[in-house]
Every structure is written in C-alpha cells, then in structure tokens.
Amino acid sequence: MTDLNSRYGLNPPHSEVVNACQHIQPCKALDMGCSNGRNALYLSQLGFHVTAVDKNANAIQMLQSIVEQEGIANIDARVYDIDQAGLDADYGFIACTVTLMFLNPDRVEAVLADMQDRTLPGGYNLIVCAMDTAAHPCPVGFPFILQENQLRAMYQGWEMLKYNENLGTMHNGAQLQFATMLARKPA
Ligand SMILES: C[S@@+](CC[C@H](N)C(=O)[O-])C[C@H]1O[C@@H](n2cnc3c(N)ncnc32)[C@H](O)[C@@H]1O
C-alpha cells in the first residue's frame, strides 16, 4: 500500500484506527474530526468508503486537495460541526479519535446518541478521549473531559471489543488518562 500519509507529510494513522481495522471489514465509515485526513486516507486505502468531517475548513481543503491529486474515489471530505449532532447517513464504522474533548460539553450527550443512532446494526464506534480522574487530573483545559467509566456507561448494550482508561502521554509530555473504546452495536 502506498504510504500517502508520508507522501503528504501527515502523521501515520492513529494506532487505535489501525487496531480497529483488524476487526472491521471495509464498509461505509465516518471519520469525525478528521483534521487533514491521516485516518481517512488509511481507511480509504483499505477499501472503506469514507466520509471525513471537520469544522476546520483549511484541514478539509488540504484533504480534498490530496483526494484530487491522487484521484481517490472513496473519500468524501466535508466541513461539518460535530456539535450539531445531525448526521445524515448511516455507517458501519464511526471513528472519533482525540476529538470528543474539543466539543461543546453541553452537546456531547447528543453527539454520542446521534453517532449511535447512525451506526448500522452490527457496526462499530471507536472513541479515544481524554479523561480527568482523581489519580491523574487532566493537565489540559479541554472543553470536555470524560470521568471514570463515563464512556462505558454511555454504551450499555454494546459489545466492548476494547475498553481501557490507560495512562497516556501527550506530544508535550503531559501525562493523562485516555478512554479508548471499540464497541459493536447489537446486530
Ligand atoms: C486533535 S485533532 C484529531 C484529528 C484526528 N481525529 C486524529 O486522530 O488525528 C481534533 C480535530 O477535531 C476537530 N474539531 C474540534 N471540534 C470540532 C467540531 N465541533 N466539529 C468538527 N470538528 C471539530 C478539530 O478541527 C481537529 O481537526
């Protein structure tokens, strides 16, 4: 597979997206908060039909220019504000990696409910999000931060293929816990 991420100076795909693809067959996928497309490009190369959304028009423009230069037919990159919680299609896989914590906290419940509604039966949600816990208070002022077991509780009835709240390190060396969840909706 051509390494498009390197060719365009993008980071490699998120490791949890790579891991999720061990479990998920190519299908219609949504990359929520795609930035300039490191995960969307990876998914498209595996054969997923990817809708990639971000509120940052410059990031979408950059991804769109890669799509055009490479003649990629299976990425639809669009400007969209996730806080609207108004997805207009159904997906087999929705990925939301390190994006939830930038949302309006008053909208997160609606956003997750919308993601769940818009996941096809037997489909998957992948979420990676910063946490704030007694053991590891979050050192970054994200608008939204998950509490212990909060994400798991919001996915009751879904099969947990992966769930942990492990300690991680940010680019600047700050340590904080991240909730990592790959969950499957009942078929
Ligand atoms: C840290 S980046 C993560 C990018 C990507 N998911 C990844 O794994 O590399 C967070 C992204 O979320 C986007 N974002 C933040 N709030 C958003 C919102 N309300 N609607 C859409 N995108 C949003 C930002 O523009 C940014 O590109």
**What is the full DSSP assignment across the chain?**
---HHHHTTPPPPPHHHHHHTTT--S-EEEEET-TT-HHHHHHHHHT-EEEEEES-HHHHHHHHHHHHHHT-SSEEEEE--GGG----S-EEEEEEES-GGGS-GGGHHHHHHHHHHTEEEEEEEEEEEEB--SSS---S--S--BPTTHHHHHTTTSEEEEEE--EEE-TTS-EEEEEEEEEE---
pLDDT band of residue 175 (cuts 50, 70, 90) is confident
Ligand 1: which of 5, 53, 54 to mutate, judged by most atoms within 8 Å of the beta carbon?
Answer: 54
Share of the chain above pLDDT 90, in %: 93
Question: Which atom of ligand 1 approaches the CA of 31 most closely?
Answer: 6
Domain that holds residue 51: 4-184
For range 165-177, the mean pLDDT:
87
- CB 177 near ligand 1, within 6 Å: no
- What pLDDT score was predicted for residue 41? 98
Task: Return the residue whose CA atom lies nearest to atom 14 of ligand 1.
Answer: 33
For range 70-84, the mean pLDDT:
98
Number of domains in the chain: 1
Task: Return the CATH number at 172.
Answer: 3.40.50.150
pLDDT tens per residue, range 4-54: 999 999 999 999 999 999 999 999 999 999 999 999 999 999 999 999 999
